[in-house]
Amino acid sequence: MPVPYRRFHPRPASRGLWLGLLIGLAAGVAAAPPSSHDDPTDVPVEAELPDIGDSAGAVISPEQERQLGASTMRQLRRMAPIVTDEEVEDYIQKLGMSLGKHAGYYGDFHFFVIESPVINAFAVPGGYIGMHTGLILNSKSESEVASVLAHEISHLTQRHGARMIEAASNMSIPSMAAFLGAILVAAVAPQAGMGALAAVGAAQQQYQINFTRANEKEADRIGIELLHESGFRTLSMADFFGRLERANRYSDPKMIPEYLRTHPVTVNRIAEARERAERLHDDVVREDSYEYQLVWHKLNVMGAEDPNQARNYYETMLRDGTFQNESAARYGYTLALIEARDLDRARIELGKLLAEQPRLPAFRLLQAKLEQEDGNAGTALELLARLHRDEPDNRAACYSYVALLNRTGEAVEAKRVLRDFGVADEREPRFYKLLAEAEERLGDQANSHYNLAEYYRSMGELELAFEQLRLAQVVPDISHYQRLRIDARIDEIEKDLNRLDRDRAKRREREERRQRG
């Protein structure tokens, strides 16, 4: 079991009361109306998603799914504690794509991790799949994590979200935008999402549950096939679901893991999944990757309530030999020692790791981290420079190197490294934040404001992005090219903000019509 998790406090997104129910891997939702005490000008998060009209009779196209998914992801970045550690991000994307490449999906997959002890995962139309750290830390193998991802992927490939909206059209279910808004609630604060049950009639609940069970069986069947084709242990899905179900069979309903609430699990369903898996006859099964072991321990330390508690946890594990992989456990121990500021002992443990695998990027990054924590910025900079030269495509190495270059006054080199890294069309928020920092240190105010605007835009903070662009406009002596680029981006963001205003007005108008009628 992982160390006790620190308390999780979601970031508030709105003063308005917004309740949502996430049913069956984001397959359906029922939302409660806003409280009469709310400020009517305080628009819930779902109003910041594209408006596609009333759900009655609507068929959501793949392009609309992509637009809604991208909008939802921007809102999640704004609201939820998404893990931005590059090693974790790259691992979950790599694992997900090892399954997704067999799925025959018409779009791209985007996998991400939310820092929360809740055992949950969800899929958002448009190819976005989120997994909570609590689920990873409660897994016993990489195949179990893969089984959940395969299940989620199958909900997307079968378009269960769009089909649920279509099937629920005769029950006055809210629009797709409200549906995705409720996903945000459930992803950030699941108990708040579950509160919407009180607002749903019994008949509607039963209809949705029945529909969801059909989705779940279909996702199980296709997900198990994906596991088989990808080389993972197909029985892992039944094992993981069964372990959760057994562990919570007699629990207080309030204590049931979120994954069991949003993914109805029955003994029959587990038996069917097991029977289906056994029929496929796994010939060769992938062993847990070393990367899975390292990421598990990293998340375990990151989520620890107390660094000293994490240190004691690993000391007991290493003493008693209750680890799956000793060097991976020692990696977690070294991380815990650094977090607990026990740097001398951390240096000893790190030496053991480097003696075994001196070229492993994860250990070299840990070495640079230790040197920084010990006040040896110059040594850390040399270590990261060598690592970046050896692993030019490693995001964690690149961004750690650039961040330290910025802090040590080497902004010219920081900017050069960033400009040479990655693909221009696939930049993530941290890239723009680091680039803006480098340009600010170089006195390039116009480009610093512009890239900070790009950072805020990718985080869903359109108003803050607009403000940064306005600041860029009034920087003295900007070039003609800079002005054109800034003006073009301002036009795009103004259109987005105007669209949001129109969508909010439409929703208010529809709500008023519903209340009158």
Q: What is the pLDDT of residues 51-62, one digit of tens each?
A: 444 443 346 677
Q: Round to whole Å and give the CA distance between 436 and 271.
A: 54
Q: What is the reported pLDDT for 515? A: 82
Q: What is the reported pLDDT for 171? A: 40
Q: Round to whole Å and give the CA distance between 417 and 225.
A: 42
Residue 152 designated active-site: yes
3-state secondary structure of 247: helix
Mean per-residue pLDDT, 107-134: 87
Q: Which of 203-217, 263-277, 424-438 has the lowest mean pLDDT?
A: 203-217
Q: Which H or E run includes 338?
A: helix 326-339
Quote the DSSP letter at residue 124.
E
Alpha helices in 57-141 (DSSP H): 62-79, 86-100, 133-137
Q: What is the reported pLDDT for 211? A: 47
Q: Round to whole Å and give the CA distance between 366 and 338.
A: 9
Q: What is the reported pLDDT for 238? A: 84
Q: What is the reported pLDDT for 26? A: 34
Q: Round to whole Å and give the CA distance between 94 and 43.
A: 37
Q: Round to whole Å and give the CA distance between 177 and 499.
A: 14
Q: Round to whole Å and give the CA distance between 483 and 481.
A: 5
Q: Give the contacts of 513 (CB within 8 A, at least 6 positions apart).
A: none
Q: Round to whole Å and give the CA distance between 378 and 371.
A: 9
Q: Give the contacts of 98 (CB within 8 A, at least 6 positions apart).
A: 146, 230
Q: Are 30 and 4 in contact (CB under 8 A)?
A: no
Q: What is the reported pLDDT for 47? A: 40
Q: Give the contacts of 380 (CB within 8 A, at least 6 positions apart).
A: 368, 369, 371, 372, 404
- pLDDT grade, residue 186 (50/70/90)? low
Q: E strands, 12-84, where?
A: none
- Which candidate, 70, 269, 250, 60, places its Cα nearest to that of 167? 60
Q: What is the reported pLDDT for 468? A: 97
pLDDT tops 60 at residue 27: no
Of 115, 144, 220, 439, the catalytic one is 220
Alpha helices in 158-266 (DSSP H): 160-167, 176-188, 190-194, 202-230, 236-247, 258-262
Q: What is the reported pLDDT for 220? A: 83
- pLDDT grade, residue 9 (50/70/90)? very low
How open is the CA angle 368-370-376, to the nearest 5 degrees? 75
Q: What is the reported pLDDT for 125? A: 78
Mean per-residue pLDDT, 183-198: 47
Q: What is the reported pLDDT for 5? A: 61
3-state secondary structure of 59: coil
Q: How far is CA 314 from CA 83, 108, 305, 355, in A?
A: 23, 39, 14, 20
pLDDT above 70: percentage of residues in the chain: 74
pLDDT tops 70 at residue 30: no
Q: Are 363 and 350 in contact (CB under 8 A)?
A: yes
Mean per-residue pLDDT, 29-48: 35
Residue 51 designated active-site: no
Of 46, 48, 152, 371, the catalytic one is 152
Condensed to tens digits (0 to 9), the pLDDT of residues 201-236 reads 343 444 444 446 777 788 888 888 999 899 998 888
Condensed to tens digits (0 to 9), the pLDDT of residues 281-332 reads 777 678 889 999 999 999 999 999 899 999 999 999 999 999 999 999 999 9
Mean per-residue pLDDT, 393-403: 96
Mean per-residue pLDDT, 403-415: 97
Q: Round to whole Å and give the CA distance between 209 and 263.
A: 10
Highest averaged pLDDT of the listed ranges 20-29, 112-121, 161-170, 333-342: 333-342
Q: What is the reported pLDDT for 104? A: 82
Domain boundaries along the sequence of the chain:
45-280, 306-375
- The DSSP result for 462-500, as a single string, is HHHHHHHHHHHHTSTT--HHHHHHHHHHHHHHHHHHHHH
- pLDDT grade, residue 393 (50/70/90)? very high
Give the β-pairing of 121-124 and 128-132: antiparallel
Q: Which of 15-24, 332-341, 372-381, 406-415 has the lowest mean pLDDT?
A: 15-24
Mean of the per-residue pLDDT values for the chain?
A: 78
